[in-house]
Amino acid sequence: MPKIIIIGAGPGGYAAAFKAARAGAFVTLVDKSDMGGTCLNNGCIPTKTIKASADALKLARRLDQFGIVPAGFHPFDAGTAFFNVDMPSVQVRKENVRKTLCAGLEKTCVALKVRLVRGQAELQAGGSVLVHTASGIEIIHGDAIILANGSKTLDLPSLPVDHTWIFNSDDALDLHTIPRRMLIVGGGVIGCEFAFIYRAFGSDVTIVEGLDRLLPLPSVDVEISRLLQREAKKCGLHVALAQTVKSVTVSRRGVTCELGTSPFMKGITGPDISIEVDAVLVAVGRAPNCQGLNLSEAGVATDATGWIVVDDRMRTSVDGIYAIGDTLGPSRIMLAHSATAEGLCAVDNCLGNKIHMDYSVIPSAIFTSPEIGIVGLSEAQAKEQGRDVRSCLVQFREMGKAHAMGELPGFFKLVCEKGSGRILGVHIAGAHSTDIIAEAALAIKNSLTVEDVANTIHAHPTLAEGMCEAAQAWLRV
């Protein structure tokens, strides 16, 4: 069996390592940090752990709506308990979750005999990797190499991060105090998730987005953006669309931010606005994380911005070297589960198979308030492709379970071909939509129609039956 070297122990890297080891390959997994990569240590899991605290706080503050009152109060008394966030305790819980999952991954490495080497990897000619470890330099030889080196936070030259007044998403996960006033630069996934989290914790948050809607992504249906902006307004979030930060001035009192009309929006003008805040979070995307890998000397091609270029079998320009995950950049899909699928594909090809990566059905989960689950085409994308489609939208408030839970905001939107009824896209906003979207992904993957979903009995009362009700509503029109 081949010797496979994997550089990067994030979701794509460790999934590839575990699959290769189970297939009998000799696997060496190299990473200079803890296992789990950005997702486990600085992204998905820490963010969702902190969001769980924010959700618990929001629920605690409306316990009286469920008939839960503090001990000692009569149900008809006006008094209610006051809850606040203890950020040091939130951070302890976040770290405990992270360390537990890291330890679990390391145990799996031991069980599968995956050799874990800690250090900075550097590609060498002839299929070997030089690793700068704490105890010195080690050279590892392999038959195939999989690059899973991930990405890092994108810094803007106009907004230099000082980790005190102006910070990035990594810093936002380690706050032990809540800024009284926060400006978030970027209304994409990262910016919106942090905005709802820190608003729940009590910060006065303003989101600045250069385009004309929140979550201005092609895959996000415009109805989702409209709902999110309404919910942002309800909870006291301030949203400045079609604007960018022109300058910031740091003083002892805080940060003064000058906002102006966005250069990305033509034909829109308006006055400049000055906002004073206590912290600025820059959340404008990700950048390549290839320092020290020696890519150019090894002959691994990258694009103009430094992302590694691969074909649909995850092969780089160098025979025997593959690349997966965030290091491929936004031309692919920068999601943890996409990296995992790419890792499995790369391993198959390392083992002599000829497997092509399929990006046609990859769901997205956005953990705002409410949550958002997306898979397939948006209505706009479908029409741009010339497809004859019809959409149907069913509100969360039409479902009994949503009322029972006290979770009314949200909807199910189905985008389907008019003639066949084939489901092309599903967009869900509302409680637990990131879990419910799995059914939609399965439906699209298997080319199911709205009739297939409508004729499938869904349990009642559940939120998932919204999929069935939306399909039935589409058939009635």
339 and 225 together in one domain: no
Q: Residue 57: enclosing H or E segment and its boundaries?
A: helix 44-60
Q: Which of 260, 205, 203 is nearest to 233 (CA)?
A: 205
- Render pLDDT for 2-43 as a digit per residue (tens, 0 to 9): 999 999 999 999 999 999 999 999 999 999 999 999 999 999
Q: What is the CATH number of the domain that holds 442?
A: 3.30.390.30
- The answer to whether residue 116 sits within a structural domain is yes
Evaluate whether 94 touches 50 at the Cβ level (below 8 Å): yes
Tally the domains of the chain.
3
When pLDDT is cut at 50, 70 and 90, the band that residue 265 belongs to is confident
225 and 269 together in one domain: yes
- The answer to whether residue 412 sits within a structural domain is yes
- Pairwise CA distance, residues 300 & 168, whole Å: 29
The DSSP call for residue 241 is E
- Pairwise CA distance, residues 43 & 63, whole Å: 30
- Separation of CA 229 from chain center: 19
| pLDDT for res 363 | 98
- The answer to whether residue 40 sits within a structural domain is yes
245 and 141 together in one domain: no
For 373, the token pair is: 């689950």
- Render pLDDT for 176-229 as a digit per residue (tens, 0 to 9): 999 999 999 999 999 999 999 999 999 999 999 999 999 999 999 999 999 999
Is 163 a catalytic site residue? Answer: no
330 and 219 together in one domain: no
425 and 407 together in one domain: yes
Identify the domain boundary among 259, 284, 309: 284
Q: 300-303 — which CB contacts under 8 Å span 24+ positions?
A: 300/123, 300/147, 303/329, 303/331
| pLDDT for res 325 | 97
- The answer to whether residue 69 sits within a structural domain is no
137 and 212 together in one domain: no
- The answer to whether residue 252 sits within a structural domain is yes
| Type of residue found at 37 | G
Q: Any residues with CB less than 8 A from the CB of 399 and at least 6 apart, and which?
A: 461, 463, 465, 466, 469
Identify the domain boundary among 318, 350, 382: 350
CA distances from 462 to 263, 346, 437 (A): 45, 38, 14
Q: What is the CATH number of the domain that holds 204?
A: 3.50.50.60
291 and 432 together in one domain: no
Evaluate whether 206 touches 259 at the Cβ level (below 8 Å): no
- Render pLDDT for 336-369 as a digit per residue (tens, 0 to 9): 999 999 999 999 999 999 999 999 999 999 999 9
Q: What is the pTM for the complete model shown?
A: 0.94
7 and 147 together in one domain: yes
Helix axes 44-60, 189-200, angle to 10 degrees: 30
8 and 135 together in one domain: yes
- Pairwise CA distance, residues 217 & 315, whole Å: 28
Q: Among 143-147, 153-157, 234-238, 444-448, which stretch is predicted with the lowest mean pLDDT? A: 153-157
- Render pLDDT for 428-453 as a digit per residue (tens, 0 to 9): 999 999 999 999 999 999 999 999 99
Q: Give the DSSP letter string of 437-459.
A: HHHHHHHHHTT-BHHHHHTS---
261 and 386 together in one domain: no
| pLDDT for res 65 | 92
- The answer to whether residue 357 sits within a structural domain is no
- Render pLDDT for 57-79 as a digit per residue (tens, 0 to 9): 999 999 989 998 877 655 545 44
Burial 133-157 (b: 16+ CB within 10 A, else e): eeeeeeebebebbbbbbbbbbeebe
Identify the domain boundary among 260, 284, 308: 284
- The answer to whether residue 60 sits within a structural domain is no
Per the listing, tokens 């926060």 go with 182
- The answer to whether residue 431 sits within a structural domain is yes
- Pairwise CA distance, residues 109 & 129, whole Å: 20
Report the relative pairing of strands 3-7 and 115-118 from DSSP bridges.
Answer: unpaired
328 and 410 together in one domain: no
Q: Give the DSSP letter string of 358-416.
A: --SS--EEE-SSS-EEEEE--HHHHHHTT--EEEEEEEGGGSHHHHHHT----EEEEEE
333 and 386 together in one domain: no
* Catalytic site residue from 132, 141, 176, 460: 460
HSE of 12, CA atoms in CB hemisphere, 13 A: 29
* Residue range of the domain that includes 469: 370-476
